[in-house]
Structure 1
Amino acid sequence: MIRGIKKQFDNQLLYFIGYFAWGAVGLLGIRLIEPGPMRTLCLGLVILYGVLFAVSAKVSAAWKDICCLVQTITVAALIALNSGWGVFPILYFILSAEVMMAFSQRKGLLWIGLFALFTAGIFVLVAGWQTGIITSLPYIAGYLFFGIFASAVAQARRERDKNSRLLQELQNVHRKLQDYSARIEELTISEERNRLSREMHDTLGHRLTVVAVQLEGAQRLIGENPEKSVNIVRTAREQIREALRELRGIVATMREPLQVNIPLRKALPKLIDAFEEATDFQVHLTIEDDVPNLTKAYRLTVYRIVQEAFTNIQRHAQAQNIWARIFLKEDHLVITIADDGVGFPEQISEGTFGLVGIRERASHFGGTVHLESRNGGGAQLRVELAVPKTSEVCETPVRGAKDD
């Protein structure tokens, strides 16, 4: 709205200056003519020029050409009727600016050429070739100057309007992106909740169900076989402790790890150190040199995939060694995590909740997940993620052994 008001003010200012110049030239030109019919005729032509100047701002393009043509002939008549040259050629200055702002530059210059032709032609008819041409040159130069200056002003205004439109479009796109980001965040939170609910159902739900059955059995045996009842309660207690450990693991997973703020080459070794300290596994990590730097969201996805893969191996694989490798293959980041455990039953290879969670995380970056048997025994998880185009290549290699 402010830009519209400013544009309207600029237009009004330009037309005010045009009217002022028209009035000043008309007043001075009429005073230089002796009283009589000639002065009356010239006054009528000056008024006609002013009326057409006012009307031309509100008519269509076709009528604007007609208005400019009539104004051109009107000024030519004023110049011809005033044998002492006078100031009437200055009216072409106003008209030069008007045509350059109203039409294309090529068409505006053609109009200015017509003004120059009328001016020089009348001067030559009145004073001869040499005097007429020389006298007309300053006026023609003035036409060109005012025309080119007006064209530059018009171009600057068009660029300003274009920039204003682009800015408005960018602001609209920015608002849409903010809304989209908020919706994505809500969707991500919802998906994370669903994943956690499945995780809790798969782990805590199972263990607590077993504990409930065991306690019911212990209750029935407490009178008949107290010793067996005590053993059942002891087993149930271990199940509860294991459930608490799993609950702590789920809560820890919900927190964003501090390592996500540092490169994967530093974050994953910290994760592995903590995992090796808490378990009996030996983890071998390799991150190839061509792996690029990644955004925070991308790093968190890779970190969580590796973390969940380690957890699945700990629960199901009965392994001793884990080989983790991250490398670049064309436009995809590939994560392979292999173990030397017992492998997996084919019928549940794609259905465990651990794989579902990994697949959900990978899908955010156009990724795929495959679980396959490893040569030499055990299983291998292979995850491929699309690499962001804005990534930059890392330079620092990481310690670790190659995958066997």
Structure 2
Amino acid sequence: MSLGAASIIDQAVAGRDGAGLAGASPREPVARFVGPGYVIAFVAVTLAGFAQAATTPGVLAAPGALDGLAAAAVVFALLGTLGLHLAEQRGSRRGVYLVLGVLGVLGAVATLASQGYASMMLLAVVSVGVLHLGARASAGVTVAAAAVALLAFAARDSLWSALVQAEIAFGSGIAFVFVFSRIALREHRARRDNERLVAELAAANARLTAQAVHAEQLARAEERNRIAREIHDGLGHFLTVVHIQLEAARSTLASDPERALAALTRSQQLTHEGLCEVRRSVALLRGSAPARPLVEALGALADDSTAAGVATALCVEGTPRRLAEPVEFTLYRAAQEALTNARRHARASHVALALVFADSGAVRLRVADDGVGAGDPAEGFGLRGMRERAEIIGGTLAVTTAPDQGFAIELEVP
């Protein structure tokens, strides 16, 4: 008896669809255990119970008893295989409970009618109950099956003899079915949990991949903005100064050839410096820009601005010291952009350029002109680029202006 029930358990756990968790929670999907192996094992157990009852002399002597038991066995086998399969496929937990209930009734009737010789059918009921019910419900099914078997054995022998037979012939088999069905069910649950974890890991991996793609897009956008700032602040500055020098040369070519030649010479020099600046920007983008003292670089900017027609004075306060390359480059670009704006838009005649090295370690750059100023300065690409550069190194940018009061920017790095 126990070997047939064990075959049902093994085939059920290894069924073709292991999805779902039996007997855990009504909210979980209905487990699917019915497969080819399950069907063979279930039918074999049913036939074994029927054969044992049919071949025992005097058990089914009443007219029609054998035919009735045969009909019950056929219905039992069809319901436990095809009926349970349909309920599992539809995901109907009520359908599974209904099938299990009818199986229990048929098994009990067959066992009582055969005086216990068809009790193997009850073992199949216990196995299905353990697979599809919770621990308490399956224990209840097991106790009910044992009670039915005891009553059936008591119908042919004394109570004491029935107890002995129930213990030896049925109790050991039902205990085996219950215990090993629970073990197999725990393994089934563990496999289901592993599948769930694999699915969660796959979903997490997909999210990480999407985040990596998004991070790459952000990095590309940041790199484009960085290149745009370099072109605007570097090359744009030199083109502006060259343009002013060429305008001066054209306007003085007829009246003052020497001054025009000086402007052209200066334009050529600025063009060369612009090419050097482009090379330096490319090197910086590659992470290999050569170091250049900040005070020296700001002095060259002040000289260029003065040569372009806007008197620019550089004032250095505190003890000059070398700063981190990103900090020096940000301060240099801010001064360069501010001087370019003073020549282009401010119509300024004087610019004060101040670099302050504070004792606290902070560094402050201030560029102020005496131009027309602005009531509500729009933050164009130049100012936006300065602010972005300042934020990257942890600094702040302040803008001060008013109509006819000039324009000033102050960048401070703590």
Instruction: Name the residue aligned to 1:56.
Output: 84
Distance in 2 (alpha carbons) for counterparts of 1:196 and 1:371: 21
* Aligned counterparts, 1:68-217, within 5 A: 68-83=100-115, 85-86=116-117, 88-138=118-168, 139-217=170-248
Partners of 2:198 and 2:219 lie apart in 1 by 31
Residues 124 and 311 of structure 1: is their aligned pair in 2 closer, same or farther, counting only changes over 3 Å? farther
**What is residue 396 of structure 2 aligned with on the other side?**
370
Cα distance in 1 for residues equivalent to 2:240 and 2:333: 21
Conserved 8 A contact 2:112-2:148: no
Shift of 1:173: 4.1
The one-letter amino acid of 2:41's match is I
- 1:100 deviates by 1.2
Whether the 8 Å contact between 1:100 and 1:147 is mirrored in structure 2 is yes
Q: Distance in 1 between the 2:264 and 2:140 partners?
A: 104
Q: Name the aligned partner's letter for residue 143 of structure 2.
A: G
| Shift in Å, 1:19 | 2.1
Aligned 8 A contact 1:96 1:108 in 2? yes
Q: Is contact 2:127–2:177 with CA below 8 Å preserved after alignment? A: yes
Percent identical residues: 19
- Indicate if the aligned counterparts of 1:100 and 1:151 stay in contact, CA closer than 8 A: yes
Query: Aligned to 2:67, which of 28, 31, 40?
Result: 40
**Cα distance 1:199–1:105, how it changes in 2: closer, same or farther (>3 A)?**
same
- 1:67 partner letter: V
- What letter corresponds to residue 14 of structure 1 in structure 2? Y
**Aligned AA (2:214):** R
1: CA distance between counterparts of 2:332 and 2:359?
Answer: 14
Distance 1:308 1:110 in 2: 81
- Cα separation, partners in 2 of 1:152 and 1:345, compared to 1, 3 Å: farther
Change in Cα spacing, 1:198 to 1:32, as seen in structure 2 (3 Å) is same
Cα distance change, pair 321–200 in 1 and its aligned pair in 2 (3 A): same
**What TM-score does the superposition give when structure 2 sets the normalisation length?**
0.63
- Aligned in 2, Cα 1:4/1:45: closer, same or farther, shift over 3 Å? closer
How high is the TM-score relative to the length of structure 1? 0.65
Contact preservation (8 Å) 2:42, 2:77: no
CA distance in 2, matches of 1:242, 1:189: 29
1:159-208 Cα distance to aligned partner (Å, 9 max, x none): 43343344334424433432343234224323432343244223312321
SS of match in other structure, 1:21: helix
Partner of 1:297: none
Would the aligned equivalents of 2:150 and 2:166 in 1 still touch at CA under 8 Å?
yes
Q: Label 1:4 to 1:175 Cα distance change in 2 as closer, same or farther (>3 A).
A: farther
Larger radius of gyration: 2
Letter in 2 for 1:43: A
Query: Residue 135 of structure 1: CA displacement?
Result: 2.1
- Residue type of the alignment partner of 2:39: Y
| 1:89-130 superposed Cα distances (whole Å, 9 cap, x missing partner) | 222221111011122222111111111111123324433333
Alignment partners' CA distance in 2, 1:120 and 1:201: 96
- Alignment CA distance shift 1:206-1:251 (3 Å): same
Q: Distance in 2 between matches of 1:219 and 1:342?
A: 35
In structure 2, the CA distance between the partners of 1:51 and 1:313, relative to structure 1 (3 Å rule), is closer
Determine the structure 1 residue equivalent to 2:304: none
Q: Which residue of 1 aligns with 2:283?
A: 252
| Contiguous gaps of at least 5 residues in structure 2 | 1-13, 20-31, 298-319, 339-352, 400-409
Q: Secondary structure at the match of 1:58?
A: helix
Report the Cα distance in structure 1 between the residues aligned to 2:126 and 2:291, rounded to whole angstroms: 81
Q: In the alignment, is residue 228 of structure 1 matched against residue 252 of structure 2?
A: no
In structure 1, what residue type is equivalent to 2:79?
A: L
Q: Count residues in correspondence.
A: 324
Q: Is the 8 A contact 2:229 2:385 kept in 1?
A: no
Q: Are the equivalent residues in 1 in contact too, given 2:107–2:125 (CA < 8 A)?
A: no
Give, in angstroms, the shift of residue 42 of structure 1: 2.6
Matches within 5 A, 1:296-375: 306=327, 308-309=329-330, 311-312=332-333, 319=355, 321=357, 338-339=362-363, 343-345=366-368, 352-358=383-389, 361=392, 369-371=395-397
Distance in 2 separating the partners of 1:143 and 1:345: 96
Name the aligned partner's letter for residue 321 of structure 2. Q
1:129-174: CA deviations, max 9, x gaps?
3322232124234223323333333343344334334433442443
2:272 alignment counterpart = 241
- Alpha-carbon distance in structure 2 between the residues aligned to 1:163 and 1:123: 45
- Tell me the distance in 2 between the aligned counterparts of 1:360 and 1:22: 80
Aligned to 1:380, what secondary structure does the other structure show? strand
2:46 aligned to 22, 33, 36, which one?
A: 22
Per-residue deviation, 1:239? 1.9
Matching residue's letter, 1:42: L
Q: Would the alpha carbon gap of residues 176 and 236 (structure 1) be closer, same or farther in structure 2, given more than 3 Å must change?
A: same
The 8 Å contact of residues 111 and 148 in structure 2, kept in 1 or not, is answered as no
CA RMSD of aligned residues (A): 4.1
- Shift in Å, 1:31: 2.8
